[in-house]
Structure 1
């Protein structure tokens, strides 16, 4: 989040964004209506004091943006009390799944689906299918609580481009889905996966998941993680590939 927001600042060439360290986590703001505007990682290095909360909330308020905080179920329980006392309200839940790596991943090859790492000259094609998938989320399970303009989704993916490996899936030769992977400290974070609506239920997501797990294993990663909506098709696909629940995070918001 911090690196992507820094990339957004370079792209914009202004000081509209910020990255504020807070109690072991980070408060990030890239630009209006960006999916990067959030607070994460709180509750693992002490509890924020009133002055820290004040500074973060003021920074978002100065930009007319709500404060959205993602709080892990493993965080210090006292954090929820402090947020509730400041007027934050619960808006959604997200599940973080994980699985150990080490053994060679079993390949998944659905009929007609081909997944390969995406080259730089394919970036616009990859971006198009990933954003189109994000604009039409699957309706199974708990719905995503956020909607973003196409331009903001595109900007966020461009800002993350230097941090991830991208994968493009084709169905019968036609671009149908994409995903990405961020590797750091032996952890493979599987990100940005989506399938365009007309290609769903054909195994595209399973193939994207399989390809990234195989490459994460080859890279020597110890664990892979993925964020899903509770009860979603994405959660089911991940569980079939050996993922289990690591923790749930509550999403709380404070309106400006």
Structure 2
């Protein structure tokens, strides 16, 4: 049976995202980066450091519409960093009108898919693939993620974002340290072939990224990484798993083949940083 997403479920998922972003941003501040957090209308505005994937406004739409003053304060706080808002389409419809009137432009969409885990989940082990949870060798794990992301499948809508390795490493270390994100690696016939991460948050299993190195694609690595994380999180009591993908991407196709349903879409709106000089 397909999983239906009402506004209550969407809010629950978005609040898990708020806590993820907030924890990572606070960890950035703890290591001396900017680490600015502003609560806004049930969501949060986060600036970890220049160029970070944690620089965004998340979770809006389920606690009313921000005021003009709220948005202006966020823009002033971001300063010379573009303000990116990731807005669930199930949120308050008054928010897009407010943002576009202030010069925000629609730049992309991302899909949030979900899978019910309340009946547990069985691990799948494709031939030749071994998946392990790891707390060691962060650099090798990160190299695998970066290599996979640098060579995306030419399917679906391409991402509008790209992050330097050093900034991505900082964000992942912060999320592992403060948000409970755990890391996994996949080996194909003994060779490092893929890497992934996830976390549990009040029953929501967040799949926070996965990548396969190009030469090991189409061998079941993504399937193995996905099923290992789902089995572990289901065993720990999570009742729903969520994954965010680019629309029409291979990642979305793989997730739907594993039983995920499209729950809602986030619109990504950006206000460019003010010009100086």
TM-score range (shorter-chain normalised) is: over 0.9
What corresponds to 1:218 in structure 2? 235
Alignment of 1:40-55 (within 5 A): 40-55=58-73
Is 2:149 the counterpart of 1:134?
yes
Q: How far has the Cα of 1:60 moved from its partner?
A: 1.0
How far apart in 2 are the matches of 1:59 and 1:138?
36
Alignment of 1:190-201 (within 5 A): 190-201=207-218
How far apart in 1 are the matches of 2:227 and 2:112?
18
Contact 2:109 2:268 in 1 (8 A): yes
Q: How far has the Cα of 1:122 moved from its partner?
A: 2.8
What corresponds to 2:167 in structure 1? 152
Contact 1:131 1:154 in 2 (8 A): no
Alignment of 1:105-254 (within 5 A): 105-118=121-134, 120-162=135-177, 163-254=180-271
Long gaps (5+) in structure 2 = 1-20
What corresponds to 2:111 in structure 1? 95
How far apart in 2 are the matches of 1:197 and 1:153?
20
Over aligned residues, Cα RMSD in angstroms? 1.2
Superposed CA deviations along residues 167-192 of structure 1, whole A, max 9, x for unmatched, are 11011111111111110111100112
Superposed CA deviations along residues 187-213 of structure 1, whole A, max 9, x for unmatched, are 100112111122111111111001011
How far apart in 1 are the matches of 2:234 and 2:58?
27
Superposed CA deviations along residues 120-157 of structure 1, whole A, max 9, x for unmatched, are 22322222211222232222101011111111111111
Q: How far has the Cα of 1:92 moved from its partner?
A: 0.3
Number of equivalent positions? 251
Alignment of 1:16-27 (within 5 A): 16-27=34-45
How far apart in 2 are the matches of 1:181 and 1:17?
22
What corresponds to 1:34 in structure 2? 52
Long gaps (5+) in structure 1 = none
Secondary structure of the equivalent of 1:33?
Answer: coil
**TM-score w.r.t. structure 2 length?**
0.88
Q: How far has the Cα of 1:104 moved from its partner?
A: 3.6
Contact 2:27 2:35 in 1 (8 A): no
How far apart in 1 are the matches of 2:136 and 2:113?
32
Secondary structure of the equivalent of 2:130?
Answer: strand
Q: How far has the Cα of 1:96 moved from its partner?
A: 0.2
Q: How far has the Cα of 1:52 moved from its partner?
A: 0.5
How far apart in 2 are the matches of 1:170 and 1:111?
11
How far apart in 2 are the matches of 1:166 and 1:178?
7
**TM-score w.r.t. structure 1 length?**
0.95
